[in-house]
Structure 1
Amino acid sequence: MEVCPYLEKTFKILGRSWNGLIINYLSRCTERSAHFSDMKRDLKTITPRALSLKLTELSEWGLVEKKIISKSPLNISYQLTDKGYALAEALVPIEDWAHDHLDLEEN
């Protein structure tokens, strides 16, 4: 029996550091978007370089888009695409399972 290649690719995306958390974070923001500085502040342990790389990676997969709001002063936001939001919605049952079955103090 083979593993579903679609599920395998999904876990390849979500299994990389920060990707699932960034998708979850953006899905909870107003209009599913946030500025880089907001994400850096709220995702406390991610480095600016890692955040930049992850946003680029998620953008290449079509899950996040970079939106230039104004050029002077430069104002950029990142937001989930419809595809990214659909993935965020698919993660809700996993989050529910985690609340019911995981203890954050273990391991």
Structure 2
Amino acid sequence: MKVCPYLEETFKIVGRSWNGLIINYLSRCTEKSAHFSDMKRDLKTITPRALSIKLTDLSEWGLVEKKIVSTSPMNILYQLTDKGDALAAALEPMEKWAQEYIELENK
């Protein structure tokens, strides 16, 4: 039996460090968007360089878009696209499964 190629491609995206968490984070934000500084603050252990790379990757996959809100001072938001929002919704059953079956040390 072969693995589903669509699922395999999905895990190439979601299975990379931080990608799933960034998608989940943005899905919980107002208007499914956030500033870089907000993500850096709330995703505590990600480095600014790693966050920048991940946002670029997610943008290239069409999951996140970078929106310039104003230019003086520069105000940039990162927002889930419809495709990214659909992926976030697909991750919700996994989150529910984890809440039932995964024991966290710092609950």
The two structures have a TM-score, normalised by structure 2, of 0.97
Q: What stretches of structure 1 of length at least 5 have no aligned partner?
A: none
In structure 2, what is the Cα distance between the partners aligned to 1:23 and 1:41? 16
Deviations 1:58-86 (A, max 9, x none): 00000000000011100000000000000
What corresponds to 2:24 in structure 1? 24
> CA shift at 1:2, angstroms?
1.1
Secondary structure of 1:26 counterpart: helix
Paired positions, count: 105
Identity level (%): 81
The 4+ residue runs of structure 1 with deviation greater than 4 A are: none
Matched, 1:76 2:70: no
Matched, 1:101 2:77: no
RMSD of aligned Cα (Å)? 0.4
Q: What stretches of structure 2 of length at least 5 have no aligned partner?
A: none
Question: Equivalences for 1:1-80 in 2 at 5 Å?
Answer: 1-80=1-80
In structure 2, what is the Cα distance between the partners aligned to 1:17 and 1:93? 20
